[in-house]
């Protein structure tokens, strides 16, 4: 496009509106992003504000960025669609802008919406790979892949990390730390997608590499050892997994300290195996202690703390303490709603368990009503293709029969 092109004249006009000099840098920054919509929070992210400040030579506030976005709306260069902004015109992409855009996406990841964030990360990686692979893979690409299993997209996670692994080997080398992290994530994805033996074997291979490259006491080395134990248990070898976790727990306490998150996670995994290696009651007793330490170290509302509470409830039910499990579950579902929101994967999972516990406690009508409401919510928020839909419908069919 030339400077006298009608679109360029329109962009220049938008850039000349108050706040002057903001509209054009915003368009530059979105050049490699998704045409289906950019999260509105992107336009006021710290990286975006720094970019606009540098481009216009004037300090730029969130109000200025919002004003520049309004200029694009006024001249029909963009439109707003809920939490997304659809750009109808962009400027030529640049590696510098692509890197800043990746920074901004990473900064707003916890704000969402996650589907749009993944789409924009994918567009950015395809349009400006050199910018996102410079000095290692950009963190937003890891965030995007790690979000897939949280939404139950296990096969998609396998495909995602598989595609990245080949590129990582060619660009970074087989033993670059980011390549090893991709291998780790791919192995976990295979396990979550129904192949625990492959996950265990792949992580065992990776463990020997990480011990050699990173050292035996590196955090990522210890994390890989944890994965080997988790997927060993998933293959049915609870005793072998418990032995691995006890050794790992000693290492974590020595290297990281008793209150480190990885130390706590190792204790949690070991406690979860006690139902099989000792007794359900032993698991309950240990999980109460683990939960107390999660609450002390991470706080009562940390999502990991809520997950530990969920594990304790499962153990209580297995030990026959259904009434206590149900009482705790009713409170915990309210916590999930408050902390994570009604549409979060963990919230939906907690609601499923609550319905199951109500049935086990002798309240079949309430359980059936809960499960039907859950089905309606999953269909509305996630669509009919989610794996949870089949499980919920199966439960409803079983109870109505």
CATH number for 89: 1.10.10
pLDDT of residue 151: 82
Statement: residue 171 has pLDDT above 60: yes
Q: Is 262 helix (H, G, I), strand (E, B) or coil?
A: helix
Statement: residue 1 has pLDDT above 60: no
- Assess if residue 356 is contained within a domain: no
pLDDT (mean) for 261-273: 96
Domain that holds residue 65: 1-112
- Assess if residue 263 is contained within a domain: no
pLDDT of residue 21: 94
pLDDT of residue 4: 62
pLDDT of residue 107: 97
Residue written as token pair 């001249």? 75
Q: What's the structural domain count of the chain? A: 1
| Reduced DSSP (H G I as helix, E B as strand, rest coil) percent helix, strand, coil of the chain, to 5 | 75, 0, 25
Whether 193 contacts 155, CB under 8 Å: yes
Would you give the DSSP letter of residue 344?
Answer: S
pLDDT (mean) for 232-253: 97
Could you report the per-residue pLDDT of 382-396, keeping only the tens digit for each? Answer: 788 777 888 899 999
Q: What gap in Å lies between CA 17 and CA 195, rounded to an integer?
A: 57
- Assess if residue 1 is contained within a domain: yes
pLDDT (mean) for 109-134: 93
pLDDT of residue 251: 97
Residue written as token pair 């209150």? 259
- Assess if residue 304 is contained within a domain: no
Q: Tell me the CB-side half-sphere exposure of residue 89, using CA atoms within 13 A.
A: 19
Could you report the per-residue pLDDT of 2-29, keeping only the tens digit for each? Answer: 556 778 888 899 899 999 999 999 999 9
Statement: residue 242 has pLDDT above 90: yes
Give the DSSP H or E segment for 381.
helix 364-382
Q: What does pTM read for this prediction?
A: 0.88
pLDDT of residue 112: 78
Whether 97 contacts 55, CB under 8 Å: no
- The structure tokens listed for 331 are 């409170």
pLDDT of residue 90: 79
Statement: residue 73 has pLDDT above 70: yes
Tell me the C-alpha to C-alpha distance, in Å, between residue 139 and each of 74, 108, 125, 178: 34, 13, 12, 10
pLDDT of residue 382: 76
pLDDT of residue 182: 98
Q: Is 87 helix (H, G, I), strand (E, B) or coil?
A: strand
- Assess if residue 70 is contained within a domain: yes
Statement: residue 88 has pLDDT above 90: no
Encode 315-338: b = buried (16+ Cβ within 10 Å), e = exposed.
bbbbbebbeebbebbeebbebbee
- Assess if residue 132 is contained within a domain: no
pLDDT of residue 274: 95
pLDDT (mean) for 290-304: 97
Statement: residue 373 has pLDDT above 80: yes
Statement: residue 175 has pLDDT above 70: yes
- Assess if residue 268 is contained within a domain: no
- The structure tokens listed for 150 are 């949280």
What's the whole-number average pLDDT of the chain? Answer: 94
Sign of CA pseudo-dihedral 114, 115, 116, 117: positive
- Assess if residue 221 is contained within a domain: no
Chain mean position to CA 79: 28
Whether 118 contacts 157, CB under 8 Å: no
pLDDT (mean) for 336-365: 91
pLDDT of residue 70: 95
């Amino acid at each position: 496009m030339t400077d006298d092109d009608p679109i360029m004249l329109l962009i220049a006009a938008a850039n000349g509106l108050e706040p002057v000099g903001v509209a054009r840098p915003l368009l530059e920054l979105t050049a490699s992003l998704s045409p289906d919509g950019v999260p509105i929070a992107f336009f006021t992210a710290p990286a975006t504000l720094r970019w606009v400040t540098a481009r216009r030579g004037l300090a730029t506030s969130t109000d200025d960025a919002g004003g520049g976005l309004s200029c694009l709306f006024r001249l029909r260069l963009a439109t707003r669609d809920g939490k997304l902004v659809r750009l109808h015109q962009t400027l030529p992409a640049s590696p510098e802008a692509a890197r800043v855009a990746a920074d901004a996406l990473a900064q707003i990841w916890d704000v969402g919406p996650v589907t749009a964030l993944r789409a924009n990360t994918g567009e950015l990686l395809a349009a400006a790979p050199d910018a996102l692979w410079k000095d290692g893979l950009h963190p937003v690409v890891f965030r995007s892949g790690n979000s897939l299993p949280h939404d139950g997209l296990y096969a998609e996670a396998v495909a995602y990390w598989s595609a990245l692994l080949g590129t990582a080997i060619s660009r970074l080398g087989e033993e670059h730390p980011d390549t090893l992290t991709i291998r780790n994530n791919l192995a976990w994805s295979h396990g979550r997608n129904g192949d625990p033996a492959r996950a265990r074997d792949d992580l065992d291979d990776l463990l020997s590499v990480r011990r050699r490259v990173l050292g035996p006491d590196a955090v990522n080395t210890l994390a890989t050892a944890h994965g080997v134990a988790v997927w060993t248990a998933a293959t049915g070898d609870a005793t072998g997994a418990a032995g691995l976790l006890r050794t790992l727990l000693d290492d974590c306490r020595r290297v990281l300290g008793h209150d480190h998150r990885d130390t706590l996670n190792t204790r949690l995994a070991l406690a979860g195996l006690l139902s099989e290696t000792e007794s359900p009651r032993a698991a309950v007793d240990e999980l109460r202690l683990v939960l107390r330490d999660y609450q002390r170290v991470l706080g009562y509302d940390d999502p990991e703390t809520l997950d530990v509470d969920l594990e304790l409830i499962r153990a209580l039910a297995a030990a026959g303490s259904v009434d206590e499990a149900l009482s705790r579950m009713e409170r915990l579902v309210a916590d999930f709603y408050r902390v994570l929101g009604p549409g979060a994967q963990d919230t939906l999972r907690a609601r499923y368990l609550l319905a199951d516990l109500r049935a086990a406690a002798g309240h079949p009508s309430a359980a059936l009503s809960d499960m039907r409401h859950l089905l309606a919510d999953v269909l509305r928020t996630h669509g009919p293709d989610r794996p949870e839909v089949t499980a919920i419908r199966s439960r409803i069919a079983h109870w109505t029969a």
